[in-house]
């Protein structure tokens, strides 16, 4: 089921290149279509939003009432409600421990300096509808925003005939302030520019299809976004002591997301690679999304047998995977060698689905190699900071000559004058 390759300096590099190429392609037709929608909404506002919603989703946008959210919560499976509330508590606890606080201190020159931390004013959350409706994503996006102190969280989700009960219940649990039945690029555009009763937001987060991703990319700069998410991916580093059943199950847990998902195994054991391959074939036989898994593994799956675990770590850093599992005898020993990954799962009892739902850290993670420079979503993403500077005459005066020197060197005489007039004024007294 999964191709097994012995690392030789060439084969594994070709695989990494093909993996990166799959996510690099941008559909220009989609981008052009979405750009037209964005511009139309910018110019015509809500009228355009409503027209696109009717055209694509056959329904006008509408606001979901608190009564509807309460009814969804009451109708939701109690066991799922309990799991969601448990997840909310863990996500909240994790982000509260990360929360950055405002700080001020006396500078070496005697002035007061510091940084003020504020939550964003309004944040939008996009939640897909249909088969891709994931209540866990509502929690992972909304709870960190709540912890950050965001004043208003606005969730949009496509206006399907029967809105997903679990998604609405999750919105209530997470404390979402407003839920609007609106989807697609038109929802992104409405939140980007504002459209009558649909407010403009400062930041937009959450997954979506290719049209939503393109719209978010175009919206960036007018508002902030979390990231443009690519296909899901997992990379497992495992040694000969790993249980092939566990490794296979974890690889398939990501392969089932979509046909572009990737599942990679890096190991120092050819025997383990063969065992994992056999297990993937066996387990796929009884899993519901077998066709998707088979295609994603065939196109974007690989098992690379390396000389040692250190080589595995080097290749993992080149891939920079969304999810990285280290299933070795001493996983923490290898952790120090890992530089690029969205989330790292240590040991056989820390499977990736634990992070998807209940562990506490966010499952909104950088994909397509962007873990080289992007970080997971967290409370930090919903904060902004402002520098604060307060000097008095006694602390500014000793710095005056150096400021003037800087300003003159940059030919900014008005900057220099701003200091000079103060010095001269005081000198006249």
Q: Residues with catalytic annotation?
A: 322-323
Dist CA 171 CA 163 (whole Å): 12
* 411-to-25, 64, 270, 398 alpha-carbon distances in Å: 46, 57, 66, 22
Contact yes or no for 204/216 (Cβ under 8 A) = yes
Q: Which of 246, 250, 245, 275 is nearest to 263 (CA)?
A: 250
DSSP per position, 331-400: HHHHHTT----SEEEESTT--HHHHHHTSSS-S----TTGGGT-----GGGGEEEEEEEE--HHHHGGGH
Contacts of 285 (CB under 8 A, 6+ apart): none
CA distances from 390 to 101, 113, 172, 307 (A): 19, 6, 43, 58
Is the distance from CB of 321 to CB of 355 less than 8 angstroms?
no
In DSSP terms, 142 is beta-bridged to none
Question: Would you tell me the crossing angle of helices 290-300 and 244-255 to the nearest 10 degrees?
Answer: 100
Bridge-based pairing state of the strands 122-126 and 203-205: parallel
Nearest to 91 by CA among 356, 420, 275, 374: 356
Task: Give the position of tokens 């939003």.
Answer: 49
DSSP run (H or E) holding 210: helix 210-219
Distance CA 151, CA 156 (A): 17
CA distance 379 to 364: 12
Q: Which residues, in sequence order, are bridge partners of residue 235?
A: 264, 324
């Amino acid at each position: 089921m999964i191709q097994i390759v012995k690392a030789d300096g060439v084969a594994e590099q070709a695989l990494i290149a093909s993996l990166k190429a799959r996510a690099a392609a941008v559909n220009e037709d989609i981008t052009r279509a979405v750009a037209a929608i964005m511009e139309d909404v910018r110019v015509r506002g809500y009228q355009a939003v409503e027209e696109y919603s009717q055209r694509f989703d056959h329904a006008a946008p509408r606001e979901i009432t608190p009564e509807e959210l309460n009814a969804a919560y009451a109708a939701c499976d109690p066991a799922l409600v309990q799991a969601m509330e448990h997840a909310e508590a863990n996500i909240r606890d994790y982000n509260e421990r990360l929360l950055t606080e405002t700080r001020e201190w006396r500078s070496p020159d005697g002035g007061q300096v510091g940084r003020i931390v504020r939550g964003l004013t309004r944040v939008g959350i996009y939640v897909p509808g249909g088969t891709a409706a994931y209540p866990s994503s509502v929690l992972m996006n909304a709870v960190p925003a709540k912890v950050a102190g965001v004043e208003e969280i606005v969730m949009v989700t496509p206006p399907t005939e029967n809105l997903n009960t679990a998604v609405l219940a999750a919105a209530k649990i997470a404390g979402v302030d407003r839920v609007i039945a609106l989807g697609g690029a038109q929802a992104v555009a409405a939140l980007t520019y504002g459209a009558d009763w649909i407010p403009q937001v400062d930041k937009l987060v959450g997954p979506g299809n290719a049209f939503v991703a393109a719209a978010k990319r175009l919206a960036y700069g007018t508002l902030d976004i979390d990231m443009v998410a690519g296909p899901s991916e997992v990379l497992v580093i495992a040694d000969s002591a790993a249980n092939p059943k566990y490794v296979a199950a974890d690889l398939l847990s990501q392969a089932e997301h979509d046909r572009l998902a990737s599942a990679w195994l890096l190991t120092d054991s050819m025997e383990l690679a063969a065992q994992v391959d056999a297990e993937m074939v066996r387990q796929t036989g009884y899993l519901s999304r077998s066709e998707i898994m088979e295609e994603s593994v065939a196109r974007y799956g690989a098992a690379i047998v390396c000389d040692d675990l250190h080589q595995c770590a080097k290749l993992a850093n080149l891939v920079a995977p969304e999810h990285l599992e280290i299933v070795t005898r001493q996983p923490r020993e290898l952790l120090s060698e890992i530089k690029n990954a969205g989330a790292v799962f240590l040991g056989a009892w820390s499977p990736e689905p634990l992070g998807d739902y209940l562990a506490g850290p966010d499952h909104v993670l950088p994909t397509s190699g962007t873990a080289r420079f992007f970080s997971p979503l967290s409370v930090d993403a919903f904060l902004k900071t402002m520098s604060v500077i307060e000097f008095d005459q006694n602390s500014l005066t000793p710095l005056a000559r150096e400021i003037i020197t800087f300003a003159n060197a940059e030919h900014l005489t008005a900057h220099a004058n701003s200091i000079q007039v103060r010095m001269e004024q005081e000198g006249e007294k």
